[in-house]
Structure 1
Amino acid sequence: LALWYNYKEPANGNLDRSLVLAAVKQRGPQAVANIEPVLDRVRWRKSAKELAVMRRAALIGSEAMNSAMRATKPDINEAAVWAVLDFECRRLGADRLAYPPVIGGGQRSTVIHYMKNNRPVQPPDLILADSGADVQGYVSDITRTWPASPDGFTPHQLVAYEIVRQLLIDCRDHCRIGVSLDDVHLYMGQKLRARLIEASMLTEAGASLSSHALCHALCPHHVSHYLGMDVHDTPSVSRSEPLQCGVVFPLEPGLYLSPDCQLVHQEFRGLGGVRLEDDFAIGDTGELELLTGSAALDPETVQRLAGDAETYSASI
């Protein structure tokens, strides 16, 4: 028995259109309509039991990310980072990874959905890993960026990292009941411009851009989406919808600096991508709960873990 609740997106286009949909229209009601918007509304706000499972998925995904940092050594292949994430998620009790991960080193980290994950990463490049755990059908979504070098971040990498980390904190502090994800994205763009100016990163060309234009150029993706049984869950619920109790979502500000970026000064060009992503839930009383708090975030801890490959090897 199979149940499809969106006839506009059939699992098998030819079969469903020629047989299933025709039979439904012939023998069923006078009209055929999607129930996706109704089910998405139910899925959008999580129950206490659902939140408990999502906390577990977030914890496992966070610990796996820490292990990936610890496994890092000079010239590590992106595929090896993927393997560590997959192994650790399963070892800790997840059913699988939540989605094919993004593991990008160097300039490949500027590709938002880089999927090849097969190149060595040489110091002093950064590694960007976007991964999550699937536990009983509920997923986490986590991104961390760390240095491939045991010596840690370079000074300019650290400036970029701290800007994104502060943006994550800014966005977190802006989230509350009644605020929408679109509101948070707009706020992130404003704070991005302000923090880049504060760090003296922008050229005259960069400083002349509006917050919207600068955000589109340097962080060309939305700062959030809904999370649940899918990594981009309940797509029929607009991101302009005010947040309510039980809604789970990540926040993922980023900063992507290619070698030819004319919006930042020369010393920051070519640093690659820096993205940091944590998962949050709105509690019953409106409080914001951080689900992925065990994933290393402050630069000191990240650098310490990223230089600990020998200890990780010994642990397995």
Structure 2
Amino acid sequence: MFVPPKNADAELWDGPRTGVQGVKEFFNADEAYDNSRFPVFLREALKAENVFIDPPKNMPTLLEDKQIISLIETGKKMSAIKPLSTLIQELRVVKSDAEIDIMKRSGHISAKAFIEAMKWTQPGYTEAQLWAKLDYECRMRGSSILAYVPVVAGGPNALSMHYVRNDMKLRDGDLVLVDCGGEYNYYASDITRTWPVNGKFTEPQRELYQAVLNVNRACIELCTVKQNISLHGIHAASVKLMKQELQKIGFSTTAWDLERVLYPHHVGHYLGLDVHDVHSLSRSRKLRKNMVITIEPGIYVPFDDRFPRKYQGIGIRIEDNVVIGDTTPYVLTATAPKEIVDIEYCCANN
């Protein structure tokens, strides 16, 4: 590891540095050096037969060495320059038991924050205030930070997948869709719940919510080694299930309308140190024990008379974090209420 050396003047202003010796003691580095030596080290390392490196698009000041840049860009045959991140991602995609324990804690913290947020929500508060409530509850329970900028979308704002303005008032009679999660010991949680601002689902909201919940639960059941399935396979199943659920409540939709308008996103992604973890690895690979994924079906009904009028303007997503098991999945976020009766009970007990 190459790190900034101890420097009393710099530390007076910016706080203590680990330093070269501290890196060995605290982070178990086999070798540690002053970062000023990195250009010389890299110049020598690039003479190796194979080099595993992910050169940044814009070299920082430390690497602005014409000789080094030349070696990276032209001094090695392309076959000798190999990507490092894909190797690291392969190591990250299956979690150790210790990592699973941390992610259990991360999921429990965020789930409790959702309970408190549901209890607190009422008409007249703003999306920004609800965001602040979630942030507060996560941090007070041990999260160091929110894992990403949350979606706090009241009413038709939920029709935008990545709505992050979070600046509107929450209105009586609307739902609020919240996609949020805290980070604990660097591991992310990623939960979405949708609940009524006034604590009670209307009948159309209840019907549409139950349809999404049925798909969520069915897809979680597929999260096992025994099923011999991939994330893409679960997504295909979710589309089929969603169409069946919508038909039960009066939708008559084409495959195009379902997958491009009503349910335009994937059912899930890998989860870990990043929210969208191991991003280079295909979702077509078969799921293995101790992989951690999200399951997040959703429905977003625009103001369009191709769809039943009573459901227009409603957006619902239900997202859980799931550990792949041999024959039984483990839901890290199971304590975040998602059954209608549990949500209404929670909202009523503020």
The total of aligned residue pairs comes to 297
> Is the counterpart of residue 292 in structure 1 residue 333 in structure 2?
yes
The one-letter code matched in structure 2 to 1:88 is E
Residue 272 (structure 2) aligns with: 228
The one-letter code matched in structure 2 to 1:182 is H
Q: Of residues 322, 333, 349 in structure 2, which corresponds to 1:280? A: 322
The question of whether the paired residues in 2 share the 8 Å contact of 1:137 and 1:229 is answered with: yes
1:43-122 residue pairs with structure 2 within 5 A? 43-122=92-171
The question of whether the paired residues in 1 share the 8 Å contact of 2:122 and 2:170 is answered with: no
Give the TM-score of the pair, scaled to structure 1.
0.88
The one-letter code matched in structure 1 to 2:195 is W
The question of whether the paired residues in 1 share the 8 Å contact of 2:107 and 2:189 is answered with: yes
Residue 313 (structure 1) aligns with: none
Give the TM-score of the pair, scaled to structure 2.
0.79
Q: Aligned equivalents of 2:105 and 2:75: distance in 1?
A: 42
Residue 172 (structure 1) aligns with: 220
Q: Aligned equivalents of 1:13 and 1:216: distance in 2?
A: 39
**Pairwise CA distance, 1:236:** 1.2
Secondary structure in 2 aligned to 1:130? Answer: strand
> Is the counterpart of residue 25 in structure 1 residue 72 in structure 2?
yes
The question of whether the paired residues in 2 share the 8 Å contact of 1:140 and 1:279 is answered with: yes
The one-letter code matched in structure 2 to 1:230 is D
In structure 2, runs of 5+ residues without a counterpart are 4-37, 39-51
The one-letter code matched in structure 2 to 1:287 is T
Q: Aligned equivalents of 2:59 and 2:298: distance in 1?
A: 37
Please give the per-residue CA displacement for 1:66-104, whole angstroms capped at 9, x wherever unaligned.
Answer: 111111011110011111111111110111111110100
Please give the per-residue CA displacement for 1:12-59, whole angstroms capped at 9, x wherever unaligned.
Answer: 467588548606538986533211111100000000001100000000
**Pairwise CA distance, 1:306:** 2.0
Which has more radius of gyration? 2
> Is the counterpart of residue 156 in structure 1 residue 204 in structure 2?
yes
The one-letter code matched in structure 1 to 2:215 is L
1:203-214 residue pairs with structure 2 within 5 A? 206-207=252-253, 209-210=254-255, 213-214=257-258
Q: Aligned equivalents of 1:32 and 1:169: distance in 2?
A: 45
**Pairwise CA distance, 1:248:** 0.1
Cα RMSD of the aligned pairs, angstroms, is 2.3
1:186-265 residue pairs with structure 2 within 5 A? 186-200=236-250, 202=251, 206-207=252-253, 209-210=254-255, 213-258=257-302, 260-265=303-308
The question of whether the paired residues in 2 share the 8 Å contact of 1:126 and 1:147 is answered with: yes
Q: Aligned equivalents of 2:90 and 2:155: distance in 1?
A: 40
> Is the counterpart of residue 266 in structure 1 residue 309 in structure 2?
yes
The one-letter code matched in structure 2 to 1:172 is I
Q: Aligned equivalents of 2:92 and 2:343: distance in 1?
A: 34
